[in-house]
Structure 1
Amino acid sequence: MVFTIALTACASDKEVNPLHQEEAIPVTSHTPIYVNMINAEGIKTGNATLTETKEGVKILLEAEGLEPGTKAIHIHETGKCEAPDFKSAGGHYNPGQRQHGFNNPKGFHAGDLHNIEVTDKGTVNVEITAPNVTLKQGEKNTLLDEDGSALMIHTQADDYKTDPAGNAGNRIVCGVISKK
């Protein structure tokens, strides 16, 4: 029964997008991307699952070992997470060349996301939708370009207006988003 359902789902995808039938595409927009989140010591502290939806990219994030409180989370432009400072991930993902922040009249970056809450136990389990990005390869705002991108948690909350990073503080947890 499960096998039949899986075949039906694949056939449906081909009917909806017949132009891609002959192409060998390693990642489709329906393929989840799994991201290992590491801390500044290079130790895995959680994971994220990214999935394409009609509303944008859905991010399911689970992490532990964080300081409690409100934290900024952003998508950064390069898929590199070199501890301890994660500067290898570059700036915020910003294909539109805008300024930072939802409250900035010249903003916001495609990689700007709403703050997350870390519990008193140091954990976070949240679903976020990034409406201005995609996992569809070849699109202008894809997270899966040649150098990938990164999901980043910062020490402080994002103020949603200060360019370039919302006064969010240091980068403390990072995960590479790539098609590999």
Structure 2
Amino acid sequence: MRRPVVPTVLSACALAAAVGGCAGDEEAPSASSGGVSAAADSPPAGAGGLTARLVDPEGGEVGVATLSEADGGTRVEVEVTGLAPGFHGFHLHAVGLCEPDSPSPTDPSMTGDFLSAGGHIGAGETDHGDHPGDLPVLYVTEAGTGTLTAVTDALTLDQLDDEDGSAVMVHADRDNYANVPERYAPGGPDQMTRNTGDAGGRIACGPVEG
């Protein structure tokens, strides 16, 4: 079973959070030994990789992600600027279309920013936390900047660059990976949590391109 892990090196504040002391001492999502891992000090993306330029709902560019082959899987590297400080859900979505105020391809009655990108890759097959499109949370500093490098063995570049493409997505809130302890929800997490990890609205999106 694949489960993403929280990066251990993001910034001084994120490191402090990992040992119990940052941003109100809120508990970060737990790490596990699944198919996505942090990759500090990774080399830059090489030739033949994919790129996603991230924009906000107003069309302003807020970052760039590169995806490249790596030992053991696919390396995902992202740099963002101008986003709200804190932890943000960070995923790969199933459709390479990033349109503001757009309908969901699976439910046209639902509209919202970047819904055109569909759900996480693999959504509907498993609960959130085990989707191939699930990645570690992205931490944004008080200065509004954030970086993340991770390697996943759940997806290849060919799968990301298929007929309908894919998209890199940043969400408004932190991702709990559907990890809700029974003392809070005796019946388990609700369906929204199982689908998205309560990561909230979509604040930045970029189609993956060759």
- TM-score, normalised to structure 2, is 0.63
Q: Is the 8 A contact 2:98 2:116 kept in 1?
A: yes
Counterpart position of 1:35: 52
Q: Is the 8 A contact 1:115 1:158 kept in 2?
A: yes
The question of 1:128 aligning with 2:172 is answered: no
Q: Is the 8 A contact 1:32 1:49 kept in 2?
A: yes
Structure 1 residues 140-176: Cα deviation after superposition (integer angstroms, max 9, x where no partner): xx11110100010001111111211100000000010
Residues 95/154 of structure 1: CA separation in 2 closer, same or farther (3 Å cut) = closer
The question of 1:79 aligning with 2:96 is answered: yes
Q: Is the 8 A contact 2:89 2:138 kept in 1?
A: yes
Residues 50/73 of structure 1: CA separation in 2 closer, same or farther (3 Å cut) = same
DSSP-derived class of the 2:78 partner: strand
For structure 2, the residue ranges without an aligned partner over 5 or more in a row are 1-45, 102-112, 179-192
Distance 2:124 2:57 in 1: 29
Q: Percent identity?
A: 41
Question: Structure 2: which amino acid aligns with 1:36?
Answer: R
2:138 aligned residue (109, 116, 119): 116
The question of 1:149 aligning with 2:129 is answered: no
Question: Structure 2: which amino acid aligns with 1:118?
Answer: V
Runs of 4+ in 1 over 3 A off after TM superposition: none
The question of 1:61 aligning with 2:78 is answered: yes
Question: Structure 1: which amino acid aligns with 2:74?
Answer: V
RMSD: 1.7
Distance 1:148 1:90 in 2: 11
Q: Is the 8 A contact 1:153 1:171 kept in 2?
A: yes
Structure 1 residues 95-115: Cα deviation after superposition (integer angstroms, max 9, x where no partner): 7822212xxxxxx10001111
Counterpart position of 1:90: 118
Q: Is the 8 A contact 1:75 1:93 kept in 2?
A: yes
Once the two structures are TM-superposed, the CA of residue 91 in structure 1 deviates from its matched residue by 0.4
For structure 1, the residue ranges without an aligned partner over 5 or more in a row are 1-28, 102-107
Counterpart position of 1:7: none
Matched pairs, number: 140
2:127 aligned residue (99, 114, 118): 99
The question of 1:44 aligning with 2:66 is answered: no
Q: Is the 8 A contact 1:143 1:177 kept in 2?
A: yes
Counterpart position of 1:168: 199
Q: Is the 8 A contact 2:138 2:147 kept in 1?
A: no
Q: Is the 8 A contact 1:35 1:49 kept in 2?
A: yes
Distance 2:80 2:123 in 1: 28
Distance 1:71 1:95 in 2: 19
Once the two structures are TM-superposed, the CA of residue 127 in structure 1 deviates from its matched residue by 0.8
Question: Structure 1: which amino acid aligns with 2:205?
Answer: C
Once the two structures are TM-superposed, the CA of residue 128 in structure 1 deviates from its matched residue by 1.8
DSSP-derived class of the 1:164 partner: helix
